[in-house]
Every structure is written in C-alpha cells, then in structure tokens.
Amino acid sequence: MSKVNFKPGNMLYPLPAVMVSCGDIDGVSNILTVAWVGTVCTNPPMVYISVRPERHSYPLLRESKEFVINLTTRRLARIADYCGVRSGRTQNKWKDCRLTPERADTVKCPMIGESPVNIECKVTQVLELGSHHMFLARVSAVHVEESYMDEKNTFHLNDSHLIAYSHGSYFDLGRELGHFGYSVRKKDHQKKRRRYGKKG
C-alpha cells in the first residue's frame, strides 16, 4: 500500500462532537462545541476538553473551573455546528437554538436538556500546551435520558443516534460491527469455524 508522508497535524479521527456548557445557570452561561475531548481515567472518572484561549467561553471555564459535557445526536447535529461557529460574544445560543438549560447537581453550569447524556465536570488542572489549553476534569455526576433505560436498568446509549466528527465533517454512527471482546469469544470462533467448514 503506497502512502504519502503528510504534514504533522491532528489526524486522530473520528472524534465525539460534544456541546460544552459553562458559566452559571443563574448568571452568564454559554455553549461551545468541542471535538478535542476525551476520556482520561476510569478511577477516578476523568475527562478533558481542549479550548483555544481566544474562545469566548475560555474565561468562563478558567474562572469557574466547571463545565458540562453534553453528548450530541443526529437530531442535534445542526445545533452542535451552530454552537461551534457562532460566538457567545454576539449570540445567545440557548435562545437561538431553543435549547433548555437545566440545573445540574454538583456544578453551577446549566446542562442541555435535549442531550441524552450530561457529564458534570470539575477542573483539576489546566495545561497550557500551545494553540489549545487542556482542561483536565473529574466527573462529579452523570445524567442519562430515562427513555434509553430498560427494565433491567441498562442504559442503551447507542439507540440515541450519536454523531461523530471526522476531518471537518459530521457523521451519524453507522452499523454496529460487534461488541467489545467479540473477536475472542468462543461462540463467535465456533461460528466462524462452522461457516468456513473447518474442524477441530
């Protein structure tokens, strides 16, 4: 396979495109869309977002040291894009997008009511790395939409039609290829053997 040595850059795709709400639900708040976001640690549960200091939300994040990660869905794709390209300096994104600010449990930031998952975060460290500053945060609470819970209290997040961001475009997540660990499960291995007529 022939390849070209491309210039160094951010080529780690796809990424979650999330809407981050920050500020104070009783005062000034804003929403920004972030794709530079990810999981850091399971125990304690930690995440990060990376934000340019020029962004309108940066001082709100820096001063409050709190934010909420709101997962986005197919239905929220256009809104997520709007919240990423319009500035809170001139726009009230809550009103423009008809989003519902809901009170969180552990932070002052509003949660987005239309999002299926809201992750409350408290910043533990800010790393000034270059064009973006990374906000490392501890997850202090998680809220999930009740309609995706079944009778066994299992959360079916993938039924919400989550979206991803890849190289400048948004994508609806497609067909499921398998569950974690499916490649080594004995049952799957036996099915493959029967399918290809292999013995023993």
pLDDT surpasses 60 at 153: yes
Residues 6+ apart with CB under 8 A from 175: none
- pTM (2 d.p.): 0.89
Superfamily (CATH H level) for 15-195: Electron Transport, Fmn-binding Protein; Chain A (2.30.110.10)
Residues 6+ apart with CB under 8 A from 91: none
In the prediction, which pLDDT does 44 show? 97
pLDDT digits (tens, 9 = 90+) for 58-71: 999 999 999 999 99
pLDDT digits (tens, 9 = 90+) for 155-193: 999 999 999 999 999 999 888 888 889 888 876 555 555
3 vs 32, more confident = 32
* Whole-angstrom distance, CA of residue 75 vs CA of residue 158: 14
In the prediction, which pLDDT does 179 show? 87
Structure tokens at 28: 């000034």
In the prediction, which pLDDT does 195 show? 56
H runs (alpha helix) in the chain: 58-64, 77-85, 93-96, 186-195
Place of tokens 């962004």: 55
In the prediction, which pLDDT does 200 show? 45
Tell me the pLDDT of the chain averaged across its residues: 92
Average pLDDT over residues 73-86: 97
Residue of 85, 87, 110 whose CA lies nearest to 100 = 110
pLDDT surpasses 60 at 134: yes
Question: Model confidence at 113, in pLDDT bands (50, 70, 90)?
Answer: very high
Question: Model confidence at 7, in pLDDT bands (50, 70, 90)?
Answer: confident
